[in-house]
Amino acid sequence: GAGVSQSPSNKVTEKGKDVELRCDPISGHTALYWYRQSLGQGLEFLIYFQGNSAPDKSGLPSDRFSAERTGGSVSTLTIQRTQQEDSAVYLCASSVETGTSNQPQHFGDGTRLSIL
């Protein structure tokens, strides 16, 4: 079946521009995660959605970052007024639900964001 789909796969933009990154989770997966992976770093948790609500936004690095999820499915991560330090691979993952702990995440291929 289809996995987690992220678009675009690559994005190059100028500093100061806004960008939108899209994640289409596996059908039926209610939990959705966004991570950031910078060069030489591990996966940095950004935000988690259960359905359309985000109980924990504490991982978002600044108020330039926001995310939403509609219909319990597609999620968009928006970065406003991009800075060079925003350059990274942004990964999305989904899982069936987190009410029970034994459901692993399924990852997308990521969006490689480069800020010039």
Partner 1 sequence: AQSVSQHNHHVILSEAASLELGCNYSYGGTVNLFWYVQYPGQHLQLLLKYFSGDPLVKGIKGFEAEFIKSKFSFNLRKPSVQWSDTAEYFCAVKGGLRGTYKYIFGTGTRLKVLA
User: CB 44 → partner 1: shortest distance, Å?
Assistant: 8
Asked whether position 52 contacts partner 1 by CB under 8 A, the answer is no
Which range in 14-22, 28-36, 61-69, 70-78 contacts partner 1 by CB under 8 A?
28-36
Buried b (16+ CB within 10 A) or exposed e, 45-71: ebbbbbeeebeeeeebeeeebebebee
One of 77, 79, 91, 115 touching partner 1 (CB under 8 A): 91
Beta bridge partner(s), residue 92? 34
One of 7, 13, 22, 50 touching partner 1 (CB under 8 A): 50
Which range in 9-17, 18-26, 37-45, 68-76 contacts partner 1 by CB under 8 A?
37-45
Task: Report whether 103 contacts 96 (CB < 8 A).
Answer: yes
Strand 75-79 relative to strand 88-95, pairing:
unpaired
Give the DSSP letter of residue 68. Answer: E
What contacts 22, CB < 8 A, 6 or more positions away? 6, 7, 8, 74, 75, 76
One of 35, 60, 73, 86 touching partner 1 (CB under 8 A): 35
One of 13, 76, 80, 105 touching partner 1 (CB under 8 A): 105
Residues that bind partner 1 (CB under 8 A): 3-4, 31, 33, 35, 40-43, 45, 48, 50, 55-56, 91, 93, 98-102, 104-105, 107-110
